[in-house]
Amino acid sequence: MKIGIFGGTFDPIHFGHLQLARNARVQFSLDKVIFVPAFQSPHKQDVPSITPAAHRYEMVRLAIESEPHCGLSDSELKRQGISYTFDTLIEFEKQYPGAEFFLILGKDAFEGLDAWHRAPELKQKVRFIVAKRENHGLPAVRDVRADWIQMPLCPISASGIRAALKRGESVDDYLSPKVLQYIRTNELYRKDQAWT
């Protein structure tokens, strides 16, 4: 079994994330892509305004409801604290014995891979499939199996969507209707909102 692991804050999950998962699944013949919302990303500890994990998890659930090859894991939410990919992978290895794992991530995250928790061991365990931000080659990261995901460059970013929502602008073209309704119902990403 070939499983793609797609971790992130997903704050909020948008069409770019979904397209990335679809393209990765087809290109690498993955049986399933599992979304893993982070409780607290080790790379975003200095971001105090991150939306609470329960909201981000629910938005991912709504976004992938009609995606038959996608799954959702709450493993990092249950662990709480800092979400380390290595720890998540160990859990997945127990859950899916004998599976081959592919870690789906963006170019920016891949460039910082050597600073990740237990990076040398992680490199031995998974194959990395990387989403482009612009038309450049794969970053030079040593001792790693990595490939580009072949897809058009995605202009959408979660930070851009959050900023647009705070300005009261339409983001209908970037979010699924169910996610958009959830954001409105729960009054997320308002101008005066700050999580503490």
**N-terminal to C-terminal alpha carbon distance within the chain:** 41
Higher pLDDT, 45 or 145: 145
Q: What are the structural domains, with CATH classification, of the chain? A: 2-185 (3.40.50.620)
Residues in the chain: 196
59 burial via Cβ count (<10 Å: 0-12, 13-18, 19+): buried
User: What was the pLDDT predicted at 195?
Assistant: 46
pTM: 0.90
Tens digits of per-residue pLDDT, 38-56?
A: 998 776 555 555 899 999 9
Q: What CA–CA distance (Å, rounded) separates 174 from 196?
A: 27
**Mean of the per-residue pLDDT values for the chain?**
89
Other C-beta atoms within 10 Å of 108: how many?
12
User: What was the pLDDT predicted at 67?
Assistant: 94
User: What was the pLDDT predicted at 148?
Assistant: 87
Q: What CA–CA distance (Å, rounded) separates 170 from 167?
A: 9
Tens digits of per-residue pLDDT, 69-79?
A: 999 999 999 99
